[in-house]
Amino acid sequence: MTTLPLISLRSVSRTYRTDGVAVTAVRNVSFDIAPGEIVAVMGPSGSGKSTLMNMIGLLDLPSEGAVHLEGANVAELSEDRRSSLRARSIGFVFQSYNLLARHSAIENVALPLVYCGISRRERLARAEQSLQAVGMLHRAHHFPRQLSGGEQQRVAIARALIASPLIVLADEPTGALDSRTGAEILALFAALNRAGQTIVMITHDPGIATQCRRTIRLHDGELVSDETIAELLPRRSVAS
Amino acid sequence: MTMLQGFQIALHALRLNPLRSFLTMLGIVIGVASIVTVFAIGSGAQLRLQEQIRSIGANVLMITPGAVYQGGVRLKDGSKLTMTEGDVQAILEQIPEIQAAAGSLAGTAQVIHEGKNWNTTINGTTSGHFMVRDWQLASGRYFSGAEETGAGKVVILGSTVARELFAPGDDPIGAQIRIMKVPLEIVGVLDRKGPAQDDVAFVPLSTAKLRFLGSASNINRDSVAYIIAKVAADGQMAGARAEIESLLRQRHRIPAGQEDDFKVQDPAAAMEAQQGAIRTVALLLVAIASVSLLVGGISIMNVMIVSVTERTREIGIRRALGGRMRDIRLQFLCEALVLCLLGGAIGVAGGITLSMTVARMAGWITSIDGEAIGLALAFSIATGLIFGFYPAHKASKLSPIEALKTE
Ligand SMILES: Nc1ncnc2c1ncn2[C@@H]1O[C@H](COP(=O)(O)OP(=O)(O)O)[C@@H](O)[C@H]1O
Ligand SMILES: [Mg+2]
């Protein structure tokens, strides 16, 4: 493949040390993510999915190995630079939405732009566009508690998209939703990906994973498989 | 993130909890209000003293009765009039540095003009009194020599008395007033010298003795209650004072080793000393008020720490969405600053109101100056920065991952 990977992990490990006990949450993981991909990360609870996601999202650094974003080793960037990159290049979507309760939908969506030094007027204009893209513009001035779970997650996705990030990272985005609403959110991600948005999504719903072209599986912190549908389909047919 | 955005976020957060925000500010409000009030009352008192110092006139010495012994028993200072008109004459004639001198007898009485009457100080003295105090006339004239020696039925009014007895357009000169049933003609009205000085009516010393004190047998025909004397130049004050003391000891036949029966004072110097004392007391009170600011600062720090804990998840979200550590620090520092500045502003308003109320109720002069207000606000900003820094720093140091995990 000739395209430069957006994200590349090389022998990444992450060990937590608490009270002298070392827990290796991620062990010797390597893979690349190319622009325009949609990747599902699967694995049982405690297998290191969130830890991996935090490192891709520049919230955490590997204990060993290296994470590269557009070719740059993120460990070599300053803390402030990593923060700026989070504001401009990464969009987070969380299982529990993580909207600020005391701010309206549109203010929540505009929040990352505060840290990009963009004027309030432009922030609000772009937040409107972003809300429009997820079908939530009519609820712009409602507060999170006035919105259903699915609606809150749409607002959170609008927030993740507002700075036109290189990559959207979603940690079990449908985990708190019923299956129908979850499917709607998933359809939204699929549509965004068709429009070219790179997405990495953690899930333990195999149904969701099958809708992604590529699936990475973790077990006890180790990468056990990395398959794209092109490989997956023939193997399935062999199995059946 | 800019300062302005920091303040916007801070105002938003504080508006969500107005009662808590107000209670948090209370210490600052009280501290700043106390400082402004103390300053206002203190500088009012200073102004009043300065007015009194000015009104006495420059280079004035005042001689009042001192200790008196009767059969070996020391009587209270001033319990007997020990000075005489002869002393006044001697001081004037024998001490070259003295330009003018006058003796006075004073008391209070009702002054009546037609329907109006006014209770004021009646001061029996000579024209020298006005020279000593550099006190000019607004209209009319001083006492004539004949009036001074012959107990003339004339009076010179201070401007307050003239204002109380006469309508604004009326000319008091030539009008008749009555003091203790004695009719007197107004020959002069004095310039303003200050509210505390202008409430007075002057009559010739001889008039006061003959017509008002005539029946008082305990007063020597020649006595005066006090003497004021003007020294020619500032540098001669100490010398003139020593000369007056030796002259009076000689005249009063006070043997060596016995206490003087008079006291020579420099009222301006005494008041300047008093002014220093007022300043010291005011500084002390400001120091006490600062303790309230300190308590206010600690309460702000306390509430900010609680607020950081409560909003840990918000901090995590802001960090994940690109907030730098310094942005988080700025946000919480701005909150503390806004609390202190708002508290300071309310405190200034409260202090102004309080000092004006005190002034009205107690009849004091108060003066509110920009310097005191600036100082109080500077104190509150400093309080905000000092006590807001630790919680803000703590907030900025939180790990975003851990912060996002909290409930
Ligand atoms: N801050 C931490 N300190 C110690 N251990 C941790 C910490 N965070 C995660 N772990 C451990 O790392 C492992 C992986 O956790 P995580 O990445 O959250 O898994 P997943 O998201 O797949 O459920 C777990 O065993 C968890 O207990
Ligand atoms: Mg997880």
Mean confidence (pLDDT) of chain B: 88
- Report CA-CA distances (Å) from B352 to A153, B32, B131, B379: 52, 10, 40, 17
Considering CB atoms only, which of B13, B316, B322 is closest to A86?
A: B322
Best interface-test mutation with A: which of B5, B7, B321 has the largest number of A CBs within 10 A? B321
Q: Find the helix or strand (DSSP H, E) in which A78 lies.
A: none
Give CA–CA dist A68/A12, Å, rounded.
11
How many Å lie between the centroid of ligand 2 and the Cα of residue A54? 10
How many Å lie between the centroid of ligand 2 and the Cα of residue B185? 104
State whether residue B330 is helix, strand or coil.
helix
Say if CB A177 and CB A153 are below 8 A apart: yes
pLDDT level of residue A239 (50, 70, 90 thresholds):
very low
Angle between helices A149-161 and A105-114 (to 10 degrees): 30
Q: What is the pLDDT of residue A235?
A: 45
pLDDT level of residue B332 (50, 70, 90 thresholds):
very high
pLDDT level of residue B70 (50, 70, 90 thresholds):
low
Average pLDDT on B246-252 reads 91
User: Which residues neighbour B383 within 8 Å (Cβ) at sequence distance 6 or greater?
Assistant: B28, B293, B294, B296, B297, B300, B340
Q: What is the pLDDT of residue A2?
A: 57
Torsional sign, CA B207, B210, B213, B217: positive
User: Which residues neighbour B162 within 8 Å (Cβ) at sequence distance 6 or greater?
Assistant: B172, B189
Q: What is the pLDDT of residue A214?
A: 94
Q: What is the pLDDT of residue B290?
A: 82
What ipTM does this complex have? 0.93
Give CA–CA dist B247/B241, Å, rounded.
10
**Ramachandran area for residue A172 (φ above 0: left; ψ -120 to 50: alpha; else beta):** left
Decide if domain A35-58+78-235 falls under CATH 3.30.565.10: no
**What DSSP string runs through A163-221?**
T--SEEEEESTTTTS-HHHHHHHHHHHHHHHHTT-EEEEE---HHHHTTSSEEEEEETT
- Specify the DSSP class assigned to residue B254: P
Lowest mean per-residue pLDDT among A191-200, B3-12, B217-226, B311-320? B217-226
Model pLDDT for residues B12-28, shown as the tens digit of each residue:
888 988 998 999 999 89
A59 CB near a chain B CB, below 8 Å? yes
- What is the separation of C-alpha A148 from the centre of its chain, rounded to a whole number of angstroms? 21
Say if the Cβ atoms of B1 and A80 lie within 8 Å. Answer: no
Domain ranges (residues) in chain A: 35-58+78-235
Is residue A50 within 6 Å of ligand 1 at its C-beta?
Answer: yes
Residue A26 Cα: closest atom of ligand 1: 14
As a residue count, chain B comes to: 407
Beta bridge partners of A22: A17
Give CA–CA dist B22/B6, Å, rounded.
20
Model pLDDT for residues A19-37, shown as the tens digit of each residue:
889 999 999 999 999 999 9
Percent of chain B with pLDDT over 90: 51
Is residue A3 within 6 Å of ligand 1 at its C-beta?
Answer: no
Model pLDDT for residues B112-165, shown as the tens digit of each residue:
998 888 999 999 999 999 999 989 999 999 999 999 999 999 999 999 999 999
State whether residue A224 is helix, strand or coil.
strand
Structure tokens at A240: 């059946």
Model pLDDT for residues B264-296, shown as the tens digit of each residue:
988 888 888 888 888 888 888 888 888 888 888
Four-point Cα dihedral B219, B223, B226, B227, nearest 10? 170
The pairing of beta strand B200-204 with beta strand B116-125: parallel
Q: What is the pLDDT of residue A70?
A: 93
- Report CA-CA distances (Å) from B333 to A20, A230, B2, B11, B305: 36, 54, 12, 12, 12
Structure tokens at B7: 């303040």
A23 CB near a chain B CB, below 8 Å? no
Q: Name the residue of A14, A15, A16 to mutate for ligand 1: max ligand atoms within 8 A of Cβ.
A: A16
Say if CB B263 and CB B77 are below 8 A apart: yes
Say if CB B125 and CB B118 are below 8 A apart: no
- Specify the DSSP class assigned to residue B259: P
Q: What is the pLDDT of residue B76?
A: 67
Residue environment code for B105-142, b if the CB has 16+ CB neighbours within 10 A, otherwise e: beeebebbbeeeebebbbbbbbbbbbbbbbbeeeebeb
pLDDT level of residue B72 (50, 70, 90 thresholds):
low
Q: Find the helix or strand (DSSP H, E) in which B276 lies.
A: helix B267-310
Average pLDDT on A158-177 reads 95
How many Å lie between the centroid of ligand 1 and the Cα of residue A170? 17
Percent of chain A with pLDDT over 90: 85
